[in-house]
A and B are shown apart, each in its own frame.
Chain A
């Protein structure tokens, strides 16, 4: 099936009707739970993520992990049994989720001002409700929102996005599950879009050097676009919260 399927039709539309440089629809909500210190729900296309942040609080469990000059960021990634087409029990701590957890911590540590909270710990829990490609980037984006909701000081937003090559020529953004299966290599980038720093980059297969630059460029553009969307969401959330306290009316 994959052979005679082209990712980008000659008319310039992808299989789901997007153009090459378009993100999937992103919808998000902050403060979805009351129990955690911060929480967020994010939909990127059909990929749906819940993120919850606890802390900063005292280091629990193994005290020796505590650092004298920075907070410990602890990430835990899990997928719901019903998140994919096939119902499957996914024990915590399997290879894939451990890997994603570590990558999440790497991306988030780069954005959080950890030096403000020595001897303490920040927990980030991420749960995938529906997986449809681009799980890791969606997790990063959701976690960013949850951190903002928790009021933890960040250097800037950390956003992530995937990009790939269509027909071995045109770079395309935000790869869905279907495209992941059919297509070639996928590049995942997590970046600090305002300063343009890349905090994590991963390739599913080898890219040829000639292609890498333009795909990376495209992925970074995606991160910047996502940042705008998240920014809007945060602003409107603040406005909602503010107006319910009567703060918005003071101006």
Chain B
């Protein structure tokens, strides 16, 4: 059968077009019931053996769901208690249209045979298709289709029973009229046998407080009002970002405004949660305020009382009512799209009863009210909670408990939290993926030898950090005539083992990168590959992808070639070992010789690169020494750098550049490259300002000038000053990203940080997926492999790049979070004086960087919300003054460091000033007799001050 749908739609230009689409109605769609004899048999997971036990019905039954149930109660559905569920195609389409993440989660359930879900295509089925009536709303039409399908099932299989679950009471009433047994989800779940764990997970959308409750928030406008408002330009649409430090402040980034628009106060934020797309009303210019510098925290109270919020609001108002420096300000009038996700966190202690407050780990998310009967137990756990709704009479959003992760403070729990918060896929590799691995023992066949260049005779060695098991690069260097050197970079040939399109490949593409946590590594590829077959271990024969240059002694590249090869690394060294070999003049073997040559070349290359304007940036990187048995951090130290570090880096850079040039030449459209965009000059403002205060002019108009002015920013009395500048400069940068060459203009390929026109990643295929793609492209060029469709598809590559960029960013954040957590663990119960530097000067605080631990903490000069009567803030010069002590940015200080564990979730460092000494504020050093010679370097005014005090 055949019918047409027609509808009218507005196109991009603004014309209204009529669309007519075909809609085929079929007679070959099966009901999916195993008992059914009349339908054409089809693969279906529905099973008569599964029993849904609900106290309201004494018979087994199938469940048909309404769209709202799936959208709101996904956490219930994901529990394996419910089974034999029929999902109608109408519902499926609606879910997909309303929320793609929900659709994906639903599909995961449908695909799982043990859950007994079945998709019934009612809208193409002869018996259940309904024509949309004239002027019928889509929602009503869908509801009608759903009920029609229910009735059809009831008539089709008289022996089976069907229950229709919906939270829409109107739909339920109509269904009952049509003799369809229907229930609301909460009724069904509460009457379910063995429901204990499920009731907590019920979404609380229908929760209503006493009607008398005062409204805490203003109303949101209706959708229609919002849309017309935006169209007419009265309202603005943007993404809401909550402030991390101040729960009463947020920013909305609107496309048409350069500045972010400030929203403040309860009414201004109006229930927007970080990430939501909101509609915003801009105030008149007289009412604009400037962003606040103060830190406000929501203490979280049991009842709906908002008095404390009001007092904080007033305080905030006082703070920001300044005429100067006012920025666009507005208030949120409605939510266009919620971006709620699941949040990790803990329960706030000290509240009794079934209503509990949940404190998310992410400070930009408000506290959430949840209902649970197992509060005692959950208080010891890290949990996941999701938001269901935020009615206007409620101070906090309502949510429900999803699952517990483990005990608070456990390292495994914390790792889990970090991984979840950063969306890192970290489950075990599936059977399907493991099946793609080569069978052990793995041997090199003659066939392999003929296809590869045999380089086993070369003296190749690898240099890596200590404890590294995934060695993906090795080097060699040998003289080929008096004028020339042959330098080879050999990269593990991962693409030989990971074939395109296999489950292993798909898994690796989705993971995109290996994530390094302090005591854990989340591999991108299974361990057999990452630590064995692909790892270029010393003394073992391995497949490699080689990039071989001929260079003269001035490190000029004469020519380059790429091929697959077999190598046998002579030795896997650490940076330190390699450095010792180079420095040890008595060693004269070939490995030592080639290391020396490499080192010499690398120095020339680095020189040349820096002269071209490559930036030397700095970020405090630390390594945490772990106790191998207790897995407790023993010490935190800054990573040591040897000359060999930069030697390896130099050759890897060169290999990447050479490969980038090659693949772009052959694949101008779909080469995977990496670009580092030039940061907008606005980004450099903090750097330039900080420079100006200290009497340096930082030029930011080009990378070269920036590099030059950074080199010149040196002060004799503060040797760390230059590093501080570089740290600040690093923060001005944008992220480098992968892209498909066809998607950008040639001039945008530029890599700003490295100052090279072309760059890619080729040298770490074990831990980065981008490198695997680059390997495949290069293999095609060398003729050792064939292309496959997705490799040459510009759009596919672009999509892939997006995922890689996202995962990389997240992996980076996860790594940092892990280090931060372990640093906290290390400092637990310790009290220490440390040297630090002022990074930024704020109104009521100083941002202090402690290089030894790579820590950045806040030193509060006044109590929360108060202005200090000791310190005087000079906004113009960015200084804080107390008596005759003036603190500038970048000034060295000594601070006492303790860990405040009152808030288990946000353990934070509390700093107290030790030096310079300020009366009534600073504390004496723990150990005045400490003859740590570093401390003697304290600045001049400080000494004077102390002398004065002694007198």
B255 interface residue (CB < 8 Å to A): no
- Give chain A residues whose Cβ lies under 8 Å from the Cβ of B18: 85
**Neighbouring B residues of A25 by C-beta, 8 Å:** 2, 22, 24
Is A176 an interface residue, CB under 8 A from the partner? yes
Number of A-B contacts (CB under 8 A): 54
**A residues near B119, Cβ cutoff 8 Å:** 11
- Asked, given contacts A46-B4, A210-B788, A211-B789, whether A13 binds B21 with beta carbons under 8 Å apart, the answer is no
Asked if A86 is at the interface (CB within 8 A of a chain B CB), the reply is yes
Complex contacts, A176 vs chain B, CB 8 Å: 21-22
B21 — which chain A residues lie within 8 A by C-beta?
15-16, 46, 176, 178
Instruction: Give chain A residues whose Cβ lies under 8 Å from the Cβ of B4.
Output: 46
Measured between beta carbons, the chain B residues less than 8 angstroms from A85 are: 17-20
Cβ-neighbour of B17 out of A13, A45, A46, A86 (below 8 A): A86
Contacts of B100 in A (CB 8 A): 4
Enumerate chain B residues within 8 angstroms of A208, measured Cβ to Cβ. 787-789, 792-793
Which single member of A13, A45, A210, A211 contacts B124 (CB below 8 Å)? A13
B793 to chain A: which residues have CB within 8 Å? Answer: 168, 208
- Find B24's partner among A10, A11, A18 (CB 8 Å cutoff): A18
Residues B789 and A13 in contact, CB atoms below 8 Å apart: no
User: Using Cβ atoms and an 8 Å threshold, which residues of chain A touch B24?
Assistant: 16-18, 25
A25 to B24 Cα, complex, angstroms? 9
Which residues of the other chain, B, contact A211 by a CB distance below 8 angstroms?
789
Of residues 73 through 88 on chain A, the ones whose CB sits less than 8 Å from some CB of chain B are 85-86
- By a CB distance below 8 angstroms, the chain B residues around A4 are 96, 100
Q: How far is the CB of B14 from chain A (nearest CB, A)?
A: 12
Q: What distance in Å separates the Cβ of A180 from its nearest Cβ neighbour in chain B?
A: 13
Q: Determine if B19 and A17 form an interchain contact, defined as CB atoms under 8 angstroms apart.
A: no
Selected contact of A45 from candidates B15, B22, B26, CB within 8 Å: B22
A149 interface residue per 8 A CB criterion: no
Nearest Cβ on chain B to A99's Cβ, whole angstroms: 25
The answer to whether B17 touches A168 (Cβ under 8 A) is no
B789: shortest Cβ distance to chain A, in Å? 3
CA distance A11 to B18 in the complex (A): 29
Are B22 and A46 interface neighbours, CB within 8 A?
yes
Q: How far is the CB of A243 from chain B (nearest CB, A)?
A: 28
Whether B26 pairs with A46 at a CB distance below 8 angstroms is no
Cα distance A60–B142 in the bound complex, in angstroms = 60
Residues of A contacting B796 in the complex (Cβ-Cβ under 8 angstroms): 168
Minimum C-beta distance from B503 to chain A (A): 15
Q: How far is the CA of A16 from the CA of B24 in the complex (A)?
A: 6
A15 to B20, alpha carbons, bound, how many Å? 13
| Residue among B20, B124, B789, B792 making CB contact with A17, cutoff 8 Å | B124
Secondary structure of the A side of the interface? loop
A16 to B, closest residue via Cβ = B22
A21 to chain B, nearest CB (A): 13
Asked if A16 and B23 make an inter-chain contact with CB atoms under 8 angstroms apart, the answer reads yes
Q: Does B107 contact A (CB under 8 A)?
A: yes
A46–B2 Cα distance when bound, in Å, is: 11
- The answer to whether A237 has its CB under 8 Å from any CB of chain B is no
Q: Residue of B at shortest CB range from A178?
A: B21
Residues of B within 8 Å of A15, CB to CB, are 21
Interchain nearest-CB distance for B689 vs A (Å): 42
Task: Tell me whether B577 is interfacial, beta carbon within 8 Å.
Answer: no
Assembled-state Cα–Cα distance A15/B123 (Å): 11
Does A113 belong to the interface (CB within 8 Å)?
A: no
**Cβ contacts under 8 Å, B23 to chain A:** 16-17
Number of A interface residues, CB 8 Å? 21
A24-B124 in contact (CB<8A): no
Whether a CB of chain B sits under 8 angstroms from the CB of A123 is no
**Closest approach, in angstroms, between the C-beta of B921 and any C-beta of chain A?**
57
Write out the residue numbers on chain B whose beta carbons fall within 8 Å of the beta carbon of A168: 789-790, 793, 796
For residue A165, which residue of chain B has the nearest CB? B789
Q: How far is the CA of A24 from the CA of B123 in the complex (A)?
A: 18
Q: Which residues of B contact A86 (CB under 8 A)?
A: 15, 17
Give the distance in Å from the alpha carbon of A46 to the alpha carbon of B4 in the complex. 9
Hey, which chain B residues are within 8 Å of A10, CB to CB? Answer: 107
Could you say which residues of chain A place their CB within 8 Å of the CB of B89? 11
Q: B25 within 8 Å of A by Cβ?
A: yes
Q: Which residue of A lies closest to B796 (CB)?
A: A168
* Chain A contacts for B15, CB-based, 8 A: 86
B121 proximal to A (CB < 8 A) = yes
How many Å from the CB of B329 to the closest CB on chain A?
A: 35
Smallest distance from the beta carbon of B131 to chain A beta carbons, Å? Answer: 14
Q: Mark B473-517, 1 if CB is under 8 A from A, else 0.
A: 000000000000000000000000000000000000000000000
The listed residue (B22, B96, B121, B789) touching A210 by CB distance below 8 A is B789
What are the residues of chain A within 8 A of B124 when measuring CB–CB?
A: 13, 17
> Which residue of B is nearest A11, CB measured?
B119
Say whether, besides A11-B119, A13-B124, A168-B789, A24 and B22 are in contact (CB < 8 Å): yes
Q: Tell me the complex Cα distance, A132–B793, Å.
A: 27
In angstroms, Cα B96 to Cα A10, docked, is 13
Q: What residues on A are CB-neighbors of B787 within 8 Å? A: 208
CB-CB contacts of A185-201 with B at 8 A, as 1s and 0s? 00000000000000000
Q: Are A17 and B25 in contact (CB under 8 A)?
A: yes
Within B763-806, which residues are at the interface with A (CB < 8 Å)?
Answer: 787-790, 792-793, 796
B788 near A13 with CB under 8 A, answer no
User: Could you tell me the distance in whole angstroms from the C-beta of B4 to the nearest C-beta in chain A?
Assistant: 7
| Cβ-defined contact, B26 with A17, below 8 A | yes
* B334 → chain A closest CB, angstroms: 24
Q: Which residue of A lies closest to B8 (CB)?
A: A85
Whole-angstrom CA separation of A211 from B19 in the bound complex: 31
Q: How far is the CA of A144 from the CA of B221 in the complex (A)?
A: 61
Q: Mark B112-124, 1 if CB is under 8 A from A, else 0.
A: 0000000101011
Interface string of A202-229 (1 = CB under 8 A from B): 0000001011000000000000000000
- Compute how far the CA of A17 lies from the CA of B123 in the bound complex, rounded to whole angstroms: 9
CA–CA, A9 to B17, complex, Å?
26
Q: In the complex, what residue of chain B is closest to A206 when comparing beta carbons?
A: B792
Interface string of B96-109 (1 = CB under 8 A from A): 10001000000100
Residue on A nearest B129 in the bound complex, by CB:
A17
Which A residues are in CB contact (< 8 Å) with B792? 208
Per-residue contact bits, chain A 232-245, to B (CB 8 Å; 1 contact, 0 not): 00000000000000
**Chain A residues near B123 (CB-CB < 8 A):** 17
Q: CB within 8 Å of A: which of B362-390?
A: none
Closest to B13 in A: A86
Cα distance, A4 to B23, chains bound together (Å): 20
Chain A residues with Cβ below 8 Å from B96 are 4
Contact with A along B1-41 (1 / 0, CB 8 A): 01010000000000101111111111000000000000000
CA A198 to CA B18, docked complex, whole Å: 37
Smallest beta-carbon distance A26→chain B, Å: 11
Q: How far is the CB of B344 from chain A (nearest CB, A)?
A: 27
B788 and A132 form a contact (CB under 8 A): no
- Minimal beta-carbon separation of A185 from chain B (angstroms): 10
Report chain B residues within 8 Å CB of A178.
21
Chain B residues with CB under 8 A of A132: 20, 22
**Residue of A4, A11, A211 contacting most chain B CB atoms (<10 Å):** A11
Most buried by B among A11, A17, A176: A17
Within 8 A of B (CB), among A1-52: 4, 10-11, 13, 15-18, 24-25, 45-46
Residues of B within 8 A of A (CB): 2, 4, 15, 17-26, 89, 96, 100, 107, 119, 121, 123-124, 787-790, 792-793, 796
Other 13 A-B pairs with CB < 8 A, given A4-B96, A46-B21? A13-B124, A16-B22, A17-B22, A25-B2, A25-B22, A25-B24, A46-B22, A85-B17, A85-B18, A132-B20, A168-B796, A208-B787, A210-B788
Q: Could you pull out 16 A-B pairs where Cβ atoms are within 8 angstroms?
A: A4-B96, A11-B121, A13-B121, A13-B124, A17-B23, A17-B26, A25-B24, A46-B4, A85-B18, A86-B17, A168-B796, A176-B21, A176-B22, A208-B793, A210-B788, A210-B789
In order of increasing CB-CB distance, the 4 nearest A-B pairs are A208-B789, A17-B24, A17-B124, A85-B17
| Interface residue ranges, A against B (CB under 8 Å) | 4, 10-11, 13, 15-18, 24-25, 45-46, 85-86, 132, 168, 176, 178, 208, 210-211
